[in-house]
Structure 1
Amino acid sequence: MKRAKPSPRRPSRTSGPERQASLIGAAASLFAANGFQGTTTKEIAKAAGVSEALLFKYFPTKRALYAAILAEKAQYSELREAVEEAAKKQDDTGLFTLLASYRIKKGADPTMLRLLLFSALEGHELADMFFQRQYRTFHDLLAHYISKRIESGAFRPVDPLLAARAFFGIIVHHRLLHDILGLPMHRSYEDTIDEYVSLFLGGLIQPSPAFRPHTHT
């Protein structure tokens, strides 16, 4: 696998927020291609078209830059509101479809998934930071929803946290195959999501009691 090299940008007069966004974008691309440990601040500065000294002015450490990437990418307010609304309506299919379709879609950016993989493989504390910022909220939200549906009798009695992890595991595995390894999809995105949700809910939903005809005594 060839190591990604930074492509220097032509220097231009930009505002502080624009410069910061440029640094975050350059770092995200390089971290996703080469890993956290395999990327130097010099390479990031070169890719962003600035000096290393200016990079340190905005981000004193690579860790601070990594945290900024996660903060920028973790803009989930609209998704969370939609998921919470589906939960209030007890719309099982709608809720699971929302979570799956946010990640499984045409043109999905694999950058964050690559960052997760590198973080886990390199074994540094940023892997935990990634999970807390990117996944923890929706893991907990889905586990809580499953728990409530079990209490109401709608879902079979299962471990809610394991069930939530299993569903997100389907999504991550799909993205590994298609977004990272490049395996072609043989179904549309919509059909694929519908199938995943149907299969998963089929194992959760409590089956209706078998019809038993009354007997006369």
Structure 2
Amino acid sequence: MRTGAPLLAPVFRSDGQARLLAALLLPGGEELSITDLAERAHLAYPTAHREVARLIDAGVLAERQVGRTRLIRGNEDSPLVAPLREILLVATGPVVLLAEELAVIPGVDRAFLYGSFAARVSGVPGAVPADIDLMVIGSPDPVAVYDAAGRVESVVGRPVNPTILTAQEWAEESGFLTRVRQSPMVAVIGGDS
């Protein structure tokens, strides 16, 4: 199944290519086998294999053989890697960066993006999002959450607006929560609802 160009960064040939590159080039990126890379990027193995071959031929990715396993990584010698990393940070980085930041904060049960950024990531057409809406469920220290959001904001160049609710508050009914639940959500930690 062919996917279209991602709405947040149409410079990539497909959403799958953007996810594959994000898995390898963004912070926390590591050497991955094609099987692991396909799983992480939510791609079929043959699609990941073809995409990796294209990107190795272009010099964006590099590989090394360990036994029978090919390990793939970003090619730091390529002049394309740094600019691609910058684009990926703005387009897909908030999910990765927020997951890293929030994972170390006690009391975060789950977190997800909602609003226009989540809608674009989910393929819903619309205007370029001006900010990133983050929902955090649990009982974390609010200062720690806001500090984490600020650090991510400084990297991705968009305001990150956290809303913190307890599990009990999330279970309540309100117009706002109904709109959030009925709109696209992108999981950051745990489930998306």
Answer whether TM exceeds 0.5 for this pair: no
Where is the strand percentage greater, Structure 1 or Structure 2? 2
Where is the helix percentage greater, Structure 1 or Structure 2? 1
TM-score where L is the length of structure 2: 0.30
TM-score where L is the length of structure 1: 0.28
